[in-house]
Structure 1
């Protein structure tokens, strides 16, 4: 018998859950104006609490969303956030119980996948989450950048209130074209754009060509000291940048690099394959300061997830039989025949066997089955099975999400 129980939270308990979560990150409770923004992000039935003697000791929640998968399909997605267990209750099964309840709720609500951003990398693999996308952080020395081209369209600043609706519309048009992107819920935008302090609010620039908007940039400028020493340089931080075309993408970056009285341009969470260096006269002006895991993906419904995406049709590539193990959602356990024509569940013996978190890492195409085999993350039964799986799961573009939550 456990000494705690798991319950769905109601709106009278959301603030306590929010305070508990912030406490696990060593932050104080949100002030009233900050809580007003956060309150609207809680969805009925999507937040859980762990209780001991009616005292809240842990919490987890999710936002309703969608995810783009290889081939152009978009599947129901749960964005998991605000996971925390009170420090005096850690390592007593509370998080495991919360995860079990949440995963069962995803099955019941029809979510095909779930994702999260992990504060610690050793926690979530045991619950079936695997690293499926990566991002990089860049810093550009503006004095050395010397862009090789100029803006060809029109980039204009827009006010925050009308700009919010504009960028939301552009994001919804552009983002699903890239594998790994997710739908952003209304509270994501309000919390990101409408901070309590006006000094923290970002600026919005929109690019257009022939009278049609085709991309946007959200950024903040952090003032420094404007003197020769540059001991505290003024920095322009690119927060969010999406474009419908390569031309729009280039113009928006050129706009960011062209803002006067700025020493550095920085951006966190950008695609690892974004060709920023090729815009610059001195490519060494752009430094990758970090490359990190981004999306931790959980396949909630393995048959539906495998069937939703497409597979590369390469001449001579035979199907592969993949055996999946899933401790937390055992209905997913089984063997799946994957071919260019689709996916079916079979009773045949598998040709390679892996845990559901490892399959999640390979699902969007960021890591190959051969790499996972070489690092002993899966069991190879037939020696050529990883190569066949590589060919079938290959994608033309590195997956990327671009949304932090």
Structure 2
């Protein structure tokens, strides 16, 4: 099939989104979720693949800004709503949409593209690699003892209206973005993501609640959660379902976690997306009682290698020539000299001999500092061409804080 790709027109959104829903085997979204998706869709960046008068493929992109090591917030295309109708699989529709999309991203001058995937294996052939992890926890709050940092007793906690507290919560979130690679700077409208609370998605839990942490009248943290009540033969067996917990300092963080551990009639806290280095792992006295698991979070690919590598900083001085392979985005192929340190970096084309050889996918995997080049070399995905280059580059690419995407898109 030769895909007939067209930019989505606003009046076609319902049909386009219905194609996406059918491809994912889902029923219609609750009204508030659907309205949010409609409101944030950038139709000018959304593609529909047509077969005659039928939409058989969908793909969109959001105009995001992504935190990278060093604190810069870099333009990034947030690839989203990708689907191909079951009747048109293995006919080149997805490849055509990915090709057109990356060309468009490059044309807009965005050096990065990111996505979350229902099936990560699909996107490796287009140069995407996992760059963040989600930590899932199921904490036994009866048996996992908790020790909070000094100063937690000085933090005031209070219930807040879910909607009315959004500006205060967003102010806390915005201050945190530059400090953790992978976090997204929220564009107008995206503040709604954290307070969507459709009853159909609660799985028997209560409505979403918000508690603010304050010190000297300033909001220094917040938590959003629901409670799923349950009883067994021994008594209450409820679960706190954690949505978000953000804070500006250890004391506020400790006060919020202590609050969650102490909610009446509950004996566990569950969360589906916490950073891999979450402080809670070091606040409990028995991590085995936390049911820790990990899964992939965000995938990333460099769209413009030179601009992407120059946009971040490096934890140690680095001067390395990279031989890059990128058949899907051939403008990235060739040798690039990366020179950088904690203050800044440059990355320009060169004819000098290469020190490391790798694909754009491996560069993407290491870009936010969560995956080391050394680990990729051990998997046979990076080749060291100059002795010592691998260790130096691997150290330089690292991050002292785990990259993390707080929410999907």
Q: Please state which band the TM-score falls in when normalised by the shorter chain.
A: over 0.9
Aligned partner of 1:350 in structure 2 is 354
Which deviates more, 11-20 or 390-399? 390-399
Q: Is the 8 A contact 1:139 1:287 kept in 2?
A: yes
Equivalent in the alignment of 2:364: 360
Q: What residue number does 1:386 align with?
A: 390
**1: CA distance, partners of 2:191 / 2:200:** 16
- In the TM superposition, residue 312 of structure 1 has moved relative to its aligned partner by 2.6
Kept in 2, the 8 Å contact 1:38–1:191? The answer is no
Deviates more, 1:39-48 or 1:273-282: 273-282
Residues 277-316 of structure 1 show CA distances to partners (whole Å, capped at 9, x for unaligned) of: 332344433220x2111110111121111111112335xx
Distance 1:194 1:5, change over 3 A: same
Asked if 1:25 corresponds to 2:29, the answer is no
2:173 corresponds in structure 1 to 171
- CA deviation profile, 1:121-140 (whole Å, cap 9, x unmatched): 21001111111111210011
The DSSP-based 3-state class of the residue aligned with 1:376 is coil
Partners of 1:399 and 1:40 in 2: how far apart? 28
2:212 pairs, out of 206, 212, 233, with 206
Q: Which moved more, 1:67-76 or 1:331-340?
A: 331-340
SS at match of 1:354: strand
2:249 aligned with 1:245:
yes
Partner of 1:216: 222
SS at match of 1:291: strand
Q: d(CA) in 2 for partners of 1:122 and 1:221?
A: 35
Contact 1:181 1:402 in 2 (8 A): yes
2:84 is aligned to: 85
Structure 1: distance between partners of 2:404 and 2:199: 31
Match of 2:67 in 1: 68
Q: Distance in 2 between matches of 1:199 and 1:321?
A: 49
Partner of 2:322: 322
Name the residue aligned to 1:145. 144
Mind listing any 5+ residue stretches in structure 1 that lack a counterpart?
Answer: none
Looking at structure 2, the residues matched to 135 and 36 of structure 1 have their Cα atoms a distance apart, in angstroms, of 27
Q: Deviation of residue 390 (structure 1)?
A: 1.1
- Structure 1 match to 2:5: 6
Q: Distance in 2 between matches of 1:266 and 1:78?
A: 31
- Pair 33,126 (structure 1): closer, same or farther in 2 beyond 3 Å: same
Q: CA deviation at 1:32?
A: 4.7
333-342 or 157-166: which moved more? 333-342
198 and 30 in structure 1: CA distance in 2 versus 1, 3 angstrom threshold: closer
One of 295, 299, 306 as aligned partner of 2:298: 295
Matched, 1:309 2:312: yes
Structure 1 distance, partners of 2:372, 2:213, is: 36
Gap runs ≥5 in structure 2: none
Compared with structure 1, are the counterparts of its residues 67 and 117 closer, same or farther at alpha carbon in structure 2 (3 Å cutoff)? same
- SS at structure 2 position matched to 1:140: strand
Given the superposition, is the C-alpha separation of residues 282 and 389 from structure 1 closer, same or farther in structure 2, using an over 3 Å criterion?
A: closer
- Contact persistence 1:67–1:74 (CA under 8 A): yes
CA separation in 1, counterparts of 2:29 and 2:134?
Answer: 29
Aligned to 2:280: 276
In structure 1, C-alpha distance between the alignment counterparts of 2:178 and 2:314, rounded to whole Å: 18
| Contact map agreement 2:30 2:198 (CA 8 A) in 1 | no
Number of residue pairs the alignment of both structures matches: 398
**Aligned equivalent of 2:331:** 331
Counterpart Cα distance in 1 of 2:304 and 2:131: 16
Query: Separation in 1 of the partners of 2:75 and 2:58?
Result: 23
The question of 1:263 aligning with 2:267 is answered yes
User: Are 1:52 and 2:43 counterparts?
Assistant: no
The range that moved more, 350-359 or 379-388, is: 379-388
